[in-house]
């Protein structure tokens, strides 16, 4: 299923003031394409994803799925949120089954699919636990299982791995690559990590820090599965990092002191590729 974002703008009203978050965004994601969206904190990535999901309304513009305009959530789009959005009063397995229940999938099939994806997320042992009994990473894995088992054409993921430890994160990055390879779902994946974007994406969109600037695009034509240690991956990461750094610096200069400098104030600067993670 293809996705088209046409001249989308978004403004919020807060305390009688208007805040412009997105201006005139155009983006086409082709059927089966894996697109990662990178950008400094606060530039509107989650807002854009929520608009695609149908949870937020555009101020101007359109979102089209296979050419048809959509304004509300639908079973064609599954979402993994930046912070898990599980029901605390339901057991893990019931949380995973919830979306399928809403979608009208029969009980026996629901259970079968839920167990399959819980196993994939290494959560079988916790299927009867309650949400408060899980760690943050486990909650996020339940959210991923819940989204995957809907088998939607489009998968929208908002920094799904950012709260996970690096081992789990690497496992899930491989898992997502495998799932995408086998199902050829259309994926829009938001991340702060350039490495993660290069590992996963066909195309990376770097959102600008300022509304007046244009977004940048990088096509990643490396063979899969990709490994962090590959020279080609490292090269792409450093190329994109240069651009990302410029955007992070723009945000930092507007939010911190005049004299703030990315290289000098090194708490936020990591010479590996995770620059900007703290922002």
Point out which residues bind Mg ion (CB under 5 A). Answer: 46, 82
Contact call for residues 218 and 240 (beta carbons, < 8 A) = yes
- CA nearest 172: which of 198, 205, 144? 144
Backbone angles phi, psi at 184, to 5 degrees: 50, 45
C-alpha–C-alpha distance, residues 81 and 277, integer Å: 18
Q: Which stretch binds ligand ATP (CB under 6 A): 35-43, 112-120, 194-202, 231-239?
A: 35-43
Q: Which does 276 bind (CB under 5 to 8 A by kind): ligand ATP, Mg ion, none?
A: none
* Nearest distance from C-beta of residue 94 to ligand ATP, angstroms: 28
* Nearest distance from C-beta of residue 56 to Mg ion, angstroms: 12
Measured from each CB, the residue nearest to Mg ion is 46
* Nearest distance from C-beta of residue 195 to ligand ATP, angstroms: 16
Q: Which does 226 bind (CB under 5 to 8 A by kind): ligand ATP, Mg ion, none?
A: none
Q: Which does 68 bind (CB under 5 to 8 A by kind): ligand ATP, Mg ion, none?
A: none
C-alpha–C-alpha distance, residues 126 and 115, integer Å: 11
Q: Which is nearer to ligand ATP, 222 or 268 (CB)?
A: 268
Query: Please, which of residues 42-101 interact with ligand ATP by CB under 6 A?
Result: 42-47, 82
Which tokens belong to 225?
Answer: 């599965």
- Return the axis-axis angle of helices 166-183 and 136-148, rounded to nearest 10°: 0
Which residues are CB-contacts of 92 (< 8 A; sequence separation ≥ 6)? 118, 123, 126, 127, 128, 129, 130, 131, 134, 142
Q: Which is nearer to Mg ion, 45 or 110 (CB)?
A: 45
Q: Which stretch binds ligand ATP (CB under 6 A): 36-44, 133-141, 241-249, 267-275?
A: 36-44
Of these, 12, 87, 235, 256, which contacts ligand ATP (CB under 6 A)?
Answer: 12
Angle at 102 between CA 97 and CA 108, to 5 degrees: 45
* Nearest distance from C-beta of residue 265 to ligand ATP, angstroms: 19
Of these, 41, 177, 183, 234, which contacts ligand ATP (CB under 6 A)?
Answer: 41
Q: Which does 14 bind (CB under 5 to 8 A by kind): Mg ion, ligand ATP, none?
A: ligand ATP
Q: Are strands 154-158 and 186-190 parallel, antiparallel or unpaired?
A: parallel
- CA nearest 171: which of 225, 114, 111? 225
Q: Which does 12 bind (CB under 5 to 8 A by kind): ligand ATP, Mg ion, none?
A: ligand ATP
Contact call for residues 194 and 271 (beta carbons, < 8 A) = no
Residues within the interface to ligand ATP (CB under 6 A):
12, 14, 19, 21, 39, 41-47, 82
């Amino acid at each position: 299923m293809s996705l088209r974002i046409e001249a989308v703008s978004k403004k919020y009203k807060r305390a009688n003031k208007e805040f412009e978050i997105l201006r005139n965004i155009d983006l086409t994601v082709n059927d089966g394409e894996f697109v990662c969206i990178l950008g400094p904190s606060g530039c509107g990535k989650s807002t854009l994803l929520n608009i695609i999901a149908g949870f937020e309304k555009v101020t101007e513009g359109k979102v089209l799925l296979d050419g048809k305009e959509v304004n509300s959530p639908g079973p064609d789009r599954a979402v993994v949120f930046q912070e898990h959005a599980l029901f605390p009063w339901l057991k893990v397995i019931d949380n995973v089954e919830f979306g399928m229940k809403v979608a009208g999938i029969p009980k026996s099939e629901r259970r079968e699919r839920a167990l399959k994806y819980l196993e994939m997320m290494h959560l079988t042992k916790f299927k009867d636990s309650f949400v408060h009994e899980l760690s943050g990473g486990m909650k996020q894995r339940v959210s991923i299982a819940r989204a995957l088992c809907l088998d939607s054409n489009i998968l929208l993921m908002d920094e799904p791995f950012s709260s996970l430890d690096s081992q789990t994160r690497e496992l899930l990055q491989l898992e997502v690559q495998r799932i995408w390879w086998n199902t050829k779902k259309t994926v829009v994946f938001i991340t702060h990590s350039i490495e993660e974007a290069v590992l996963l994406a066909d195309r990376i969109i770097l959102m600008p820090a300022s509304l007046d600037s244009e977004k940048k695009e990088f096509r990643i034509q490396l063979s899969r599965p990709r490994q962090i240690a590959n020279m080609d991956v490292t090269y792409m990461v450093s190329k994109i990092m240069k651009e990302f750094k410029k955007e992070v610096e723009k945000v930092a200069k507007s939010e911190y002191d005049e004299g703030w400098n990315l290289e000098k104030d090194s708490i936020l600067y990591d010479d590996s590729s995770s620059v900007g993670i703290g922002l």
